[in-house]
Amino acid sequence: MLDLHPIQYAKPWAIFWTFAVIAHGYMDYSLFRIWKRWSRGTDKNTGTHRNFRAALKIWTVEVLFQRQLFILSPARWGVHMLIFWGFLSLALLSLTTCIAAALGMADVSGAARHFFSSVRGYIFVKLWGDTFGLFLLAGVAVASVRRFLLRPSQQVTEQADTILLLFLLWLTLSGFVLEGLRLSLVPTEIARYSFIGSLFIPPSYTIVQLQPWLTACWSLHAFSGLALLVYLPHSKLIHSISAPLVIALNASAEFARKDIYWPDISKHRATGSLKD
C-alpha cells in the first residue's frame, strides 16, 4: 500500500491568483477578438442539428488531428502534433490541478478534490504530466533542430519562432526540474511513476533545505506559464490553433452548402500534369 505524504512548501498563492485572473482575462479577450476577426464571412448556421455529426467529424479531423498539415508534410505534422497535444494536455492538467488546489484552499469537498488528493490521483497526474511533458519536449527539440540546424534555404526563422521555442523549452524543463525536487522527498515506490521527472532528482536533501528552492522553482515555473498566456495571442502558437478552426468552419459551411469536401475531393483531382 502506497503512503502519500503531501509536500508542503510556501507558494505565493495570492499574487499568483491575482496575476492568473489578469493574464487569463487578457488572453480570453485577445482570443475572442482574433476569433471574431477570423470567423467573419462564415455561415453562422453550420452547426445545426441536421449536420451536427458531419460538422463534428470535420472539426475532429481538421482541428484535433489537422489533416491538411499531414497532407502537406507528414514529418512536420508529427512534430506539430507532439507540440500541439503536449501543450494542450499539460495546459488541461495545470487547469485541473489549479482548480483542485482552489477547492482545497476553500475547504470544498468533492469527488475531484478527493481523487487528486489520493494515491491514484497522484499517480494519474505524474503519468499524465510526464507523458505529455515528454511529447512537448520532444516536439520542441525536433522543431529547434529543424529550425536552426537543418533549416531549408527557403525557410526564414523569425524572432517570434525563437521566442516561442525558448518559452516552451523553458516551461518544459523547469517543470521537470520542479518535479525532480518534489520527488526527492517522496518514497521511491511513488517517485518511480514520474519516469521523466525522476531523472531530475537531486542528491538527498531535507525538506527544510529544499523549501526555498521549491518555492523559487515553483514561482518561476508558474509565473512563466502566466506569461505564456499573455504572449499566446501574439505568438505563432495561436496560428496553429486558430488556422485549423477556420479551416473547420469553412469546411462545415461547404458541407452545409453541399460543396465538395475532403471525403470526395480525390474524385475531382487532376491526375495529369498541367502544361502551358
Looking at residue 133, its pLDDT comes to 96
11: nearest Cα among 98, 123, 139, 119: 98
Q: Are 55 and 47 in contact (CB under 8 A)?
A: yes
Cell digits for 139? 516536439
Q: How many CB atoms lie within 10 A of CB 54?
A: 16
Q: How far apart are CA 241 and CA 232, in angstroms?
A: 10
Cell digits for 185? 522527498
Dihedral class, residue 107 (left if φ above 0, else alpha if ψ from -120 to 50, else beta): left
Q: Are 190 and 154 in contact (CB under 8 A)?
A: no
| In the chain, domain spans | 13-18+52-258
Looking at residue 66, its pLDDT comes to 82
Cell 521527472 belongs to which residue? 197
Q: How far apart are CA 228 and CA 122, in angstroms?
A: 26
User: What pLDDT tens digit does each residue of the chain (276 aa) get?
Assistant: 444 556 788 999 899 999 999 999 999 999 888 878 776 655 555 544 456 676 677 777 877 888 888 888 899 899 999 998 999 999 899 888 877 777 766 666 667 667 777 888 888 989 999 999 999 999 999 998 888 887 766 565 566 678 889 999 999 999 999 999 999 888 888 888 999 999 999 887 888 889 999 999 999 999 999 999 999 888 877 766 666 666 666 665 666 655 545 444 444 444 444 343
Looking at residue 114, its pLDDT comes to 74
Q: Fill in the amino acid letter for 48.
A: T
DSSP 25-73: HHHHHHHHHHHHHHTTTS-TTTT-GGGHHHHHHHHIIIIIS-HHHHHH-
Q: Give the rounded distance of the alpha carbon of 74 from its chain centre.
A: 20
